Amino acid sequence: MQKEADMDQLHKFIQICQRHRLKITPQRVAIYQNLLGMNTHPTADAVYQILRKEYPHISFDAVNRTLLTFTEIGVSDVVEIFSGAKRFDTDLTPHHHLHCLKCGNVYDFHSETYDNLTVPKGIQQQFQVVSKRVILKGFCRKCQNENPQKRSETAESRGG
Ligand SMILES: [Zn+2]
Ligand SMILES: [Zn+2]
């Protein structure tokens, strides 16, 4: 079952595909819908693993190429990742990211304060800024729970 907002985005997706003369195949729609439904900014492989259950003959290459095409026509974005596989984002509205250093997941968050950050003057002269995003790095709740911090042990072993 689809949320109304998702249906709206699907409708926009189809319009953009048409504008770019991109054939709307069931696979492309399925890839887009799955991408919409995953809020962890999945890698091409994660999307492929889900898609192949529905389309056993689809190849990783086809999924990967489709995701890159989506980015080219502007229906999704590639997340700023400095190592490892590309991750994809269907939320094109201004938002910011939390990068978990352990599981590698990227979570969205919203902040008007961050949206309104101004670019320093010196930067404006040498670099044409087209978008801004704040990235916070750390550990997500799940990873914090898996890895309880041993505070007391290290602190108390000193002395003598
Ligand atoms: Zn994590
Ligand atoms: Zn995002």
Ligand 2 center to 107 CA (angstroms): 6
Q: Give pLDDT, residue 153.
A: 46
Which-ligand-closest: CA of 145? 1
When pLDDT is cut at 50, 70 and 90, the band that residue 151 belongs to is very low
Ligand 2 center to 151 CA (angstroms): 33
Ligand 1 center to 4 CA (angstroms): 29
At residue 158, does pLDDT exceed 60?
A: no
Task: Give pLDDT tens digits for 24-63.
Answer: 999 999 999 999 888 789 999 999 999 999 999 999 999 9
Q: How far is CA 79 from CA 76, 91, 133, 152, in A?
A: 10, 11, 10, 37
Q: Are strands 135-138 and 96-100 parallel, antiparallel or unpaired?
A: parallel
Q: Give pLDDT, residue 152.
A: 44
Ligand 2 center to 105 CA (angstroms): 10
3-state DSSP percent of the chain in helix, strand and coil, to 5: 45, 10, 40
Which-ligand-closest: CA of 107? 2
Q: How far is CA 125 from CA 116, 119, 128, in A?
A: 19, 10, 8
Q: Which whole number is the average pLDDT over 68-73?
A: 95
Alpha helices in 43-101 (DSSP H): 44-54, 60-73
Ligand 2 center to 145 CA (angstroms): 23
Task: Give pLDDT tens digits for 82-107.
Answer: 778 899 998 888 999 999 989 888 99
Report the predicted TM-score, pTM, of the whole model to 2 decimal places. Answer: 0.77
Q: Which whole number is the average pLDDT over 94-123?
A: 92
41 neighbors 79 (Cβ within 8 angstroms): yes
Ligand 1 center to 144 CA (angstroms): 7
When pLDDT is cut at 50, 70 and 90, the band that residue 125 belongs to is confident
